[in-house]
Structure 1
Amino acid sequence: MQLLAAGGAPSIFAQMFGSGLIGLREGLETGIVVMILVAFVVKSDRRDALKWIWAGVSAAVAMVVVIFLIIHLGTSTVTTLTAELIAGLASLVAVVIVTAMVLWMSKAAAHISTDLKSGMSHALLTGGVSVMGLAFLAVGREGFETALLMVGYAESVSGSLWPLLGLLLGIVVAIVVTVLLYRGAVRLNFHKFFLYTGIFLIFVAAGILSYGVRALQTVGWLPGGSNLAFDISEHYDQSSWYGTVLAGIFNVRPDPTVLQVVAWCLYVVIVLYFFLRANRQRPPAPSDDGSATQAPAATDAGT
């Protein structure tokens, strides 16, 4: 199986850029959730609940790290074919979860703030453990998606550490942006941000799906491993800057199988259609200053 070897600057940039944008988007989604919960308890004069929110967030982060390490390290301690099988299955699971979350975010963005505040209101009445559980579930859901997506993404670019570094940098940037948003230092058009990064994630997920299909063909779980749709290896230099960038971000290869091409095309056409339709139908949400904006309701989370 031809995989991108880590080494050259274009390869490193491609792997870090793709995972960095994933970290930025997923980190900002998580940050918005935490920002809403924190702002709600502060405005409700229940600062005593903050420790339970941060406890839930910490537990969710710990769970995500454990899941990532179990899957990632597990593939490095088994035979090549078994690792290929695990990576292929993990890639397909990641694609399913990411697709569901991207489409869900498109529909739920307009009322996610209301839902979270309603849940926190009930949790505050129940007690600290309920607050912690709400924070854990809200953040854990986003983190679980990121962990699976990164396993599939990292495996598709040869399992080097550069994607992980890019992810961490993206998350750091997301944390900084979230803090600035909370303090009102910056404003962000959430609709455009999640629209464009959502489109990007769809194409990244399509590449991971293609990788997963090829991996399962390699171990014999799917047919057609020797049926190439085309082979432009003589004219397409995978070691060039464009080859490493396209392979590192979108898992493009010069010799895909017919099933890979069919899966990629069907995924992009179908998911992109539903994603764009959901975003087009979303009604404008009023912001704090009374202006209409396409941003999620999370824009009112600041204090």
Structure 2
Amino acid sequence: MVYALLITFREGLEAALIIGIVLSCVRRADAGASTRPVWLGAALAGGLSLGAALTLEALAVELPGRWQDAIEGFAMLLAAAVLTWMLAWMRRQSATIGRDLRQRVDRALDAGAGFTLGLLAFTAVGREGLETALFLFGGSGRAESAALYWAGAAAGLALAAAVGAAIYRGAKTLPLRAFFDVSAAALVLLAAGMVPNALKELHEAGFIAALGPRLWDTYTLLPDNYGPGRFLGTLLGYDASPFAGQVIAYAAYLAIAAVVFFRAARPAHPTPAPAGVRAA
């Protein structure tokens, strides 16, 4: 539940902030301009993302047990890779994303193109929504209760919408750079937990022949199939008796993610941005 809440809150807030920037630009440039295309684009993207999440779950349920494990394992690895790339990209673009969005909104308003505004909202929300669907599917196999897992996802989205609305209306000030840095670090830990779990699923499905010997066994102290151990396993990938391959992969992912994350913080060279570069 906590994993799903963190994912949807972080991704949902990012989408809400982008939509808030777009709406602010529209109203500042032309108080009488319609914001309907923005809301319509966001709603269509939200529906598409929900459909993608339901499709992934339906496909997994219909597959035989071995292939369910394999799909979940590959989905976890893909989600960890995409999550790491997305966090690094967002960290590098955070300094200019607001300015780029305002420039695109101004161009759309000058051209009188409501479709362009709707497409801007659609792409922003759609990107976050599809990423969220992938991350939730990748983590759903670790959830103890499906109902609690998806309740956490819904709570995260509701919280993101509330915080985004409060920021847009000026009722609350949030140190966004610090928030995204802290939440990004937390998501890196969540993604790291996916890696050993993914290898375990692929091993059980027969796609990985061996993961080496088991390095320790703490089952009597902290079992991983119920209570706090289950919670840590769902959230951070804890395993009471991990294979050597799982531990090595976990440490390797954290090392790679740290390098990528901190390199992304370096300021880019001040070169003109191409017109086709995504602002969202």
The equivalent position to 1:207 in structure 2, one of 165, 184, 193, is: 193
* Residues 1:112 and 2:108 aligned together: no
Q: Secondary structure at the match of 1:76?
A: helix
Q: Secondary structure at the match of 1:106?
A: helix
Name the counterpart of 2:26. Answer: 41
* Residues 1:265 and 2:251 aligned together: yes
1:58-137 equivalence runs, <5 A: 58-124=43-109, 125=111, 127-137=113-123
* Residues 1:184 and 2:184 aligned together: no
The equivalent position to 2:15 in structure 1, one of 26, 30, 50, is: 30
- Distance across 1 between alignment mates of 2:194 and 2:180: 20
Amino acid aligned to 2:120: L
Query: Unpaired segments of 5 or more residues in structure 1?
Result: 1-15, 284-297, 299-303
1:1-20 equivalence runs, <5 A: 16-20=1-5
Amino acid aligned to 2:81: V
Q: Normalised by the size of structure 2, how large is the TM-score?
A: 0.89
Q: Secondary structure at the match of 2:87?
A: helix
* Residues 1:144 and 2:130 aligned together: yes
Q: Normalised by the size of structure 1, how large is the TM-score?
A: 0.82
The equivalent position to 1:193 in structure 2, one of 152, 155, 179, is: 179
Name the counterpart of 1:51. Answer: 36
Amino acid aligned to 2:99: T
- Distance across 2 between alignment mates of 1:117 and 1:181: 17
* Residues 1:223 and 2:209 aligned together: yes
Q: Report how far residue 145 of structure 1 moved.
A: 1.0
Name the counterpart of 2:235. Answer: 249
- Distance across 2 between alignment mates of 1:96 and 1:123: 34
Q: CA RMSD in A?
A: 2.1
Name the counterpart of 2:271. Answer: none
Q: Report how far residue 276 of structure 1 moved.
A: 3.4
Conserved 8 A contact 2:23-2:35: yes
- Distance across 2 between alignment mates of 1:220 and 1:240: 25
Question: Displaced runs of 4+ in structure 1, greater than 4 A?
Answer: none
Query: Unpaired segments of 5 or more residues in structure 2?
Result: 269-279
Percent identity over paired residues:
28
Structure 1 residues 282 and 176, CA gap change in structure 2 (3 angstroms):
farther
- Distance across 1 between alignment mates of 2:159 and 2:151: 12
Q: Secondary structure at the match of 2:56?
A: helix
- Distance across 1 between alignment mates of 2:55 and 2:35: 30
Q: Secondary structure at the match of 1:58?
A: helix
Name the counterpart of 1:3. Answer: none
Amino acid aligned to 1:93: L
Amino acid aligned to 1:44: A
Conserved 8 A contact 1:157-1:247: no
Structure 1 residues 223 and 120, CA gap change in structure 2 (3 angstroms):
farther
- Distance across 2 between alignment mates of 1:239 and 1:70: 28
- Distance across 1 between alignment mates of 2:38 and 2:188: 31
Deviating more after overlay: 235-244 vs 34-43: 235-244
Amino acid aligned to 1:25: R
- Distance across 1 between alignment mates of 2:31 and 2:47: 25
Name the counterpart of 2:274. Answer: none
- Distance across 2 between alignment mates of 1:220 and 1:226: 14
Amino acid aligned to 1:134: L
